[in-house]
């Protein structure tokens, strides 16, 4: 009896593997990407890239165990949800007010230490941010939000500005 249950369990797990979640992968360099649109220091961009982009961009660097179901579904669910709330790959397409609101949200999650998700820290060792790193992101986010509020053109990445006629 126990053997039968065990084999049925194995069979179910095997069948689950046939249903892989859709992957969030794109190599496109979007014009509306955060750092293409706004002026972002390299240090911030690389930090966000390492600890946030897996769930908040159009391109996730997947761990190997995404291939194992149902773990992969769980992971993909978090990615889809995170991306639907905040997507750095398309940040430049947000209206001014929305961009300010999202930047304020970033400041808040850094202060409360609720991002990245705890489960993410289990497999990405770089994701356990130090207080200094959280302060760095927090300060940057609030400064950029203030800059967008007072003069949104000055906040733009110089490369993304339209060329002025002479």
Residues near ligand HEC (CB under 6 A): 51-52, 54-56, 78, 81-82, 85-86, 102, 105-106, 109, 115-117, 120
Identity of the residue, 36 or 105, whose beta carbon is nearer to ligand HEC in the bound complex: 105
DSSP string, 40-81: --HHHHHHHHHHTHHHHSS-----GGGGSTTHHHHHHHHHHH
As measured in angstroms, the least distance from the Cβ of 112 to ligand HEC is: 10
Identity of the residue, 75 or 156, whose beta carbon is nearer to ligand HEC in the bound complex: 75
Candidates 61, 60, 74; CA nearest to 16 is 74
Identity of the residue, 30 or 91, whose beta carbon is nearer to ligand HEC in the bound complex: 91
Helices 42-51 and 131-151, packing angle to 10 deg: 120
As measured in angstroms, the least distance from the Cβ of 92 to ligand HEC is: 16
As measured in angstroms, the least distance from the Cβ of 107 to ligand HEC is: 8
Cα separation, 79 vs 157, in Å, equals 27
Q: Considering Cα of 122, then 23, then 48, then 100, what sign does the dihedral take? A: negative
Identity of the residue, 7 or 122, whose beta carbon is nearer to ligand HEC in the bound complex: 122
As measured in angstroms, the least distance from the Cβ of 57 to ligand HEC is: 10
């Amino acid at each position: 009896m126990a053997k039968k249950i065990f084999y049925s369990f194995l069979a179910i797990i095997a069948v689950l593997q046939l249903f892989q979640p859709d992957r969030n992968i794109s190599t496109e360099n979007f014009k509306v990407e955060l750092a293409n649109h706004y002026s972002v220091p390299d240090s911030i961009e690389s930090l966000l890239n390492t600890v946030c982009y897996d769930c908040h961009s159009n391109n996730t660097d997947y761990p190997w165990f995404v291939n194992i179901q149902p773990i992969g579904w769980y992971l993909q669910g978090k990615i889809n949800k995170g991306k639907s709330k905040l997507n750095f790959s398309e940040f430049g397409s947000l209206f001014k007010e929305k961009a300010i609101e999202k930047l304020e949200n970033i400041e808040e999650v850094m202060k409360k230490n609720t991002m990245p998700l705890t489960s993410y820290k289990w497999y990405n060792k770089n994701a356990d941010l130090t207080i200094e790193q959280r302060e760095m992101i927090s300060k940057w986010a609030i400064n950029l939000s203030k800059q967008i509020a007072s003069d949104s053109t000055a906040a733009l990445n110089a490369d993304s500005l339209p060329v002025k006629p002479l």
